[in-house]
């Protein structure tokens, strides 16, 4: 690990240096051409090998216009299940949950490896628990975190950091409000949101689009889901493209049954994504750019479409890209279609409005690999698109496809979108409410237009504010530190994670000249995922940091660190680690403890289960720790834990043999636990319950201590209902240092709103403050809210802190609040802008 790099300079631009290549502009022959893409270079995006012919290589070298994107095609699936879905295997689905499961995580991953996939998620229904399963690991393919979210319609979420909870709409609100808020929530994590089988949620051939089709911001849409009707899915996608929506295509095996692996295994069908490199972040970036093509299986047919919009002989745009021209195209502007493994298929090229108007060109491959070119022209409209698909007779393309059709779908590309003057703007049947544009006092700390900066944390000491952020750029996730002056301006910025491309979730604490930052980092290795916990120290107020030290020593996944100071020279760090199978919370006081200790394992029941039931293993998880330190070095750590659930990490309960299905819990009965360490003791007490109800899922705790020594915990609480119910905030207090806790109190309850990801801190006057993001605003966007605790009168009413845009993932200290926001985005779709802002609340 290299020492931190100083990227400070005049303002935020230097702090976020690095070329952003999501949109590039050139002027050719009087036509302004904008190409949205990821990465630049001379690789041939359509070749699948990264090579170019000599003629085009020479043209690219001498061309003044945009160059083709650089990268490689990776094959995978975007929609795969296992027994963490209540219907995730054949026996359970066909018996209404009464039979054991036969599709464990490891078997489904093994099938993806056997197929030869490069990447795969496990997208179980409305749960993230599969990611906490000890079998979620692979040395052969890149595992993407994800889930199949929402009650109706379903959505595939890839790259999220935990379950995306689907809330309920307020009375009288448009029916798709909760879905739109899900999109915004996902994008605040720089994750990908895809419409799953839209013929079962957004569209039917008989009725056309429904209200859910007005959701804006989808990154992908499934057009080849073998568990549904691909032709209806293609019709839906074309309908939305014609209405100005811009997204790429994906394929889905939607695999639930090992019994069907011969025809519906992971990768049947296959989503190919063009990624700048082989990494999780590059794959997610490729999905967001729409750089995808789909095929009936990993062997093909493999189709690509490219465009040379400026006529210089270089095909600079690929499927998923948007080309914007001022008024006209050069005569030599062209489209190029490449087909691999296309024998026996018919290739159709479509332009808007699509299949209803028939193809603009049709080809019948005579060889395994063929290339076709045709003119790229404007067709009397300001917005159009071009795409390619392959069809052939034979077996139905999906279980609900018309089996009598002689031309079943076998492959399809994302479109190339062409606009005159400006990119397309969606024209939904139901418009979103106008965004609140009123000013708030927040100022920008970090982030560039078109890029992602998020997951901030803050520590205030005297007149100095220390902020850490997670920055995504050049297919890397980096940890960046910022020191703000007393006017809130960035005075110093340092990339603490060096050249690592896999640093995430930083936390910061400060006392005088001592500044500490902790984060998780895979050190660039993602096969298998084995992040470690790193801690960096500054002894000169953040002007420079020493090389980070590794705290975690296990061989599992060490994730989601938390940080507080025992004193200026002794940080307390906690994290979750699954080296021993189940995720447990580890803690270490650096400089005092020789090594981290497991503080959550006591009282857990661990079982590897029986081979005859995939759902019989028991590995209760202890996750998302938070820490607080009171007077006399008295420390408390809190976390969420599902050890009290009847079948932890499983949704839908398997009954004893011969008994009817009981339903179980969906989601798990997560509860908030805590452990205490009193100075001068060198050991932690046994876990105690903070929340103790059995009919709720209590997750994502926050923790702080009041000036009088009262410890306060807060958490999200939801009914044991996986969708259609809003989260609320609950809190509890401990006057005896964390050993016992009061019954819960509601915090700023609004039953018609979602309140989530609360953080606690101590204000300058010693009182405890909560900050969270919330859906109750009239413009539907997520806003930051706050409330304070008076130990005598209780919690204050919720107060809205922010106005413009979506505002999420807040943190606070001493009355200073930092948060992530998309307020700088210029478009309602395909603009990934998320930046970190700072404001004061006291």
If asked whether residues 571 and 700 sit together in one domain, one would say yes
pLDDT digits (tens, 9 = 90+) for 307-323: 999 999 999 999 999 99
pLDDT digits (tens, 9 = 90+) for 232-241: 999 999 999 9
| Residues 554, 579 contacting (CB under 8 angstroms) | yes
Using DSSP's 3-state secondary structure scheme, residue 264 falls into coil
Q: Which residues pair with 490 in a beta bridge?
A: 484
32 inside domain: no
Q: Indicate the pLDDT class of residue 378, thresholds 50, 70 and 90.
A: confident
Q: Which residues contact 280 (CB under 8 A, 6 or more apart)?
A: 119, 142, 144, 159, 526
Q: Are residues 483 and 354 in the same domain?
A: no
Q: Are residues 706 and 567 part of one domain? A: yes
Report which of 126, 88, 101 is spatially closest to residue 665, judged by C-alpha positions: 126
Statement to judge: residues 107 and 238 lie in one domain: yes
SS3 115: helix
Q: Are residues 460 and 492 in the same domain?
A: yes
Task: Tell me what percent of the chain is helix, strand and coil, each rounded to the nearest 5.
Answer: 10, 40, 50
Query: Lowest mean pLDDT: which of 1-10, 219-228, 667-676, 812-821?
Result: 1-10
Q: How far apart are CA 459 and CA 466, in angstroms?
A: 5
User: Could you tell me if 509 and 401 lie in one domain?
Assistant: no
Q: CA geometry: angle at 573 spanning 600 and 456, to 5°?
A: 115
The residue range of the domain holding 819 is: 443-655+664-840
Q: How does pLDDT run across 385-421, given as a tens digit for each residue? A: 999 999 999 999 999 999 999 999 999 999 999 999 9
User: Where among 389, 420, 451 does a domain terminate?
Assistant: 420
| Secondary structure letter of residue 502 according to DSSP | B
- The CA-atom distances, in angstroms, between 68 and each of 43, 55, 73, 287, 308 are 6, 14, 14, 17, 10
* CA distances from residue 532 to 130, 529, 548, 624, 720 in whole angstroms, order as listed: 20, 10, 12, 15, 33
Among candidates 647, 593, 652, which has minimal Cα distance to 619? 647
In a domain, 437, yes or no: no
Q: In what side-by-side order are the strands of the sheet with 532-538? A: 503-511, 514-521, 532-538, 549-550
Q: 192 with 305, same domain?
A: yes
If asked whether residues 462 and 335 sit together in one domain, one would say no
Rg (CA), the chain: 26
Domain check: are 468 and 348 in the same one?
no
Distance CA 432, CA 64 (A): 40
How far are the Cα atoms of 39, 272, 314 from residue 445, in angstroms, in the given order?
A: 26, 37, 39
How many domains are contained in the chain? 2
Same domain, 400 and 495: no
Mean pLDDT of 421-425: 95
Q: Which residue, 142, 91, 84, 111, is CA-closest to 265? A: 111
For 144, 213, 314, 735, the CA distances from 41, given in Å and listed in that order, are 26, 36, 12, 61
- Per the model's pLDDT, the better-predicted residue between 328 and 513 turns out to be 513
> Is the alpha carbon torsion for 41, 45, 51, 52 positive or negative?
negative
Residue 713 phi, psi (nearest 5): -120, 150
User: How many other C-beta atoms can be found within 10 angstroms of the C-beta atom of residue 299?
Assistant: 13
Sort 382 into a burial class: Cβ within 10 Å, 0-12 / 13-18 / 19+.
Answer: exposed
Structural domain includes residue 94: yes
Give yes or no: residues 497 and 410 share one domain.
Answer: no
Sign of CA dihedral 643, 646, 652, 654: positive
Give domain status of residue 33, yes or no.
Answer: no
The pLDDT tens digits for 427-476 are 999 999 999 999 999 999 999 999 999 999 999 999 999 999 999 999 99
pLDDT confidence of residue 13: 30
Give the list of residues 6+ apart from residue 6 with CB closer than 8 angstroms, or none: 492, 493, 494, 544
> What CATH number should be reported for the domain holding residue 571?
2.120.10.10
Q: Is residue 58 part of a domain?
A: no
Q: Convert the pLDDT of each residue in 555-609 to its tens digit.
A: 999 999 999 999 999 999 999 999 999 999 999 999 999 999 999 999 999 999 9
* CA terminus-to-terminus distance, the chain: 39
Instruction: Assess whether pLDDT exceeds 80 at residue 55.
Output: no
Report d(CA 254, CA 841) in Å as an integer: 47
Confidence of residue 207 (pLDDT cuts 50, 70, 90): very high
0.75 exceeded by pTM: yes
pLDDT tens-digit series, residues 344-364: 999 999 999 999 999 999 999
Question: Angle CA(701)–CA(703)–CA(709) in degrees, nearest 5?
Answer: 155
CATH number at residue 382: 3.20.20.140
Per-residue pLDDT tens digits for 704-762: 999 999 999 999 999 999 899 999 999 999 999 999 999 999 999 999 999 999 999 99
Residue 525 lies in a domain: yes
Q: Residue 8 pLDDT more than 60? A: no
* 458 and 413 within one domain: no
In a domain, 771, yes or no: yes
Distance of CA 225 to the CA centre of its chain: 22
- Is 34 part of a structural domain of the chain? no
């Amino acid at each position: 690990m290299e020492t931190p790099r100083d990227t400070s300079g005049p303002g935020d631009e230097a702090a976020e240096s690095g070329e952003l290549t999501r949109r590039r502009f050139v002027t050719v022959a009087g036509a302004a051409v904008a190409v949205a893409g990821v990465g630049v270079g001379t690789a041939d995006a359509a070749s699948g090998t990264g090579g170019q012919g000599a003629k085009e290589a020479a043209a690219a070298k001498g061309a003044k216009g945009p160059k083709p994107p650089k990268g490689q095609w990776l094959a995978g699936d975007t929609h795969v299940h296992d027994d963490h879905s209540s219907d995730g295997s054949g026996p359970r689905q066909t018996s209404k949950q009464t039979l054991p499961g036969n599709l464990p995580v490891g078997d489904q991953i093994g099938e993806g490896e056997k197929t030869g996939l490069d990447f795969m998620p496990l997208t179980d229904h409305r749960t993230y628990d599969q990611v906490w399963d000890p079998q979620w690991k692979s040395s052969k393919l890149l595992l993407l975190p994800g889930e199949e979210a929402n009650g109706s319609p379903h959505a595939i979420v890839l790259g999220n950091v935990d379950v995306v909870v689907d809330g309920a709409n307020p009375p009288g609100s448009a029916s798709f409000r909760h879905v739109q808020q899900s999109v915004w929530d996902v994008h605040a994590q720089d994750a990908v949101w895809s419409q799953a089988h839209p013929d079962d949620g957004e569209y039917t051939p008989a009725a056309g689009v429904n209200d859910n089709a007005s959701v804006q911001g989808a990154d992908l849409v499934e057009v080849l889901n073998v568990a549904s009707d691909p032709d209806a899915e293609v019709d839906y996608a074309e309908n939305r493209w014609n209405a100005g929506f811009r997204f790429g295509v994906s394929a889905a095996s939607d695999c639930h049954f090992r019994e069907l692996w011969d025809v519906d295994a992971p990768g049947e069908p296959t989503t190919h994504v063009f990624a700048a490199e082989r990494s999780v972040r590059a794959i997610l970036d490729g999905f967001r750019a729409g750089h995808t093509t789909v095929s009936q299986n990993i062997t093909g047919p493999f189709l690509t479409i490219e465009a040379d919009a400026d006529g210089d002989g270089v095909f600079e745009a690929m499927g998923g890209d948007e080309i914007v021209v001022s008024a006209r195209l050069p005569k030599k502007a062209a489209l190029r279609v490449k087909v691999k493994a296309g024998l026996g298929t018919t290739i159709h090229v479509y332009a808007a409005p699509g299949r209803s108007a028939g193809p603009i060109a049709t080809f019948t491959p005579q060889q395994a690999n063929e290339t076709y070119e045709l003119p790229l022209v404007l067709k009397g409209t300001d917005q159009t698109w071009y795409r390619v698909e392959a069809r052939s007779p034979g077996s139905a393309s999906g279980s609900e496809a018309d089996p009598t059709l002689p031309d079943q779908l076998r492959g399809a590309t994302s479109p190339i979108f062409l606009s005159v003057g400006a990119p397309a703007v969606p024209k939904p049947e139901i418009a979103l409410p106008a965004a609140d544009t009123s000013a708030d006092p927040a100022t920008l700390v970090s982030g560039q237009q078109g890029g992602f900066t998020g997951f901030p944390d803050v520590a205030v000491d005297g007149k100095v504010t220390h902020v850490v952020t997670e920055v995504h750029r050049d297919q890397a996730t980096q940890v960046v530190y910022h020191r703000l002056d007393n006017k809130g301006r960035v005075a110093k910025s340092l990339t603490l994670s060096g050249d690592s491309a896999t640093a995430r979730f930083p936390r910061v604490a400060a006392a005088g000249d001592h500044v500490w930052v902790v984060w998780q980092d895979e050190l660039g290795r993602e096969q298998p995922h084995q992040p470690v916990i790193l801690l960096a120290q500054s002894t000169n107020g953040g002007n420079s940091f020493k090389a980070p030290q590794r705290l975690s020593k296990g061989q599992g996944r060490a994730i989601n660190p938390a940080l507080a100071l025992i004193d200026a020279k002794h940080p307390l760090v906690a994290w979750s680690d699954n080296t021993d199978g189940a995720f447990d919370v580890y803690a270490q006081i650096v400089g005092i403890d020789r090594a981290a200790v497991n503080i959550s394992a006591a009282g857990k029941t661990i079982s590897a289960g029986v081979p005859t039931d995939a759902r019989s293993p028991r590995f209760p998880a202890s996750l998302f720790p938070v820490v607080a330190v009171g007077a006399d070095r008295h420390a408390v750590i809190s976390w969420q834990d599902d050890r009290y659930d009847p079948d932890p990490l499983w949704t839908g309960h398997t009954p004893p043999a011969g008994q009817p299905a009981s339903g179980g819990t969906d989601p798990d009965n997560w509860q908030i636990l805590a452990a205490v360490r009193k100075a001068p003791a060198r050991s932690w007490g046994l876990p105690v319950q903070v929340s103790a109800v059995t009919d709720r899922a209590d997750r994502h705790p926050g923790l702080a201590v009041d000036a009088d020594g009262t410890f306060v915990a807060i958490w999200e609480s939801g009914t044991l209902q996986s969708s259609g119910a809003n989260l609320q905030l609950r809190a509890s207090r401990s006057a005896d240092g964390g050993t016992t806790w009061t019954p819960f109190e509601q915090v700023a309850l609004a039953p018609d709103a979602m309140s989530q990801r609360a953080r606690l801190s101590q204000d300058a006057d010693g009182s405890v403050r909560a900050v969270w993001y919330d859906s109750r605003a009239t413009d539907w966007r997520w806003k930051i809210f706050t409330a304070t605790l008076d130990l005598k009168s209780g919690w204050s009413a919720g107060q809205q802190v922010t106005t413009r845009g979506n505002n999420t993932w807040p943190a606070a200290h001493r009355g200073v609040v930092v948060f992530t926001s998309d307020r700088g985005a210029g478009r309602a779709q395909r603009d990934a802008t998320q930046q970190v802002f700072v404001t004061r609340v006291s």
